Every structure is written in structure tokens, then in C-alpha cells.
Amino acid sequence: MKEELERILAQREKRYINDTERVPAAVLVPLYQKQGQYYIVFIKRTEKVKDHKGQISFPGGARDNDDQTLLHTAVRESREEIGLQAEDI
């Protein structure tokens, strides 16, 4: 299964939207394996946040000025939202 996932992901078309009307943002799709099964991690946003109350999503969000790339955005947001450390990605 791991090899199949790696093959599929390596073949995907990477798309970036260059639209100055949109806020640059990125998400991470965390996959992990436990007892031979693969799982995808989603988060449920609280009702206390300003935007997207109660929504189910992947960890991620808007790019900060300090983020060098959108990859940095996804990693930072994943750390903030679910405690995922960069070295575990």
C-alpha cells in the first residue's frame, strides 16, 4: 500500500493558483499507518474561531508573512492545529 500511495502521489499534477484576489493558503493531508491500516487525519474547527466554525478540514490555513513557501504554511499550521512536528512528516 505504501508503494502504491507513493507512486500515485509522485504522478499527480501539482497546481498552484495565482489569483491576487484570493488569500494564499495551504493544507497538509496527514496519512499515518497503525496496525497495518492507513488513516487520514481531519480536524473539526471549534465554534469559537472567527471563520469556518465547526467545519471538518485538513490542517492548514492562510499564509503568514513569515512563511517562506506554502509548504512552510502547511507545516506551520499542522504544528499549531494538531501538534504535528516537521520531522514527523
User: Does residue 52 sit in helix, strand or coil?
Assistant: coil
The pLDDT-based confidence of 7 (bands split at 50, 70, 90) is very high
Name the domain count of the chain: 1
Rounded to whole angstroms, how far apart are CA atoms 43 and 54?
9
Residue 29 neighbours by CB under 8 Å, 6+ apart: 40, 58
pLDDT tens sequence across 22-57: 899 999 999 989 998 989 999 998 898 888 899 999
Q: What is the DSSP letter of 36?
A: T
Residue 56: which CATH number? 3.90.79.10
Range of the domain at 48: 2-88
The pLDDT-based confidence of 65 (bands split at 50, 70, 90) is very high
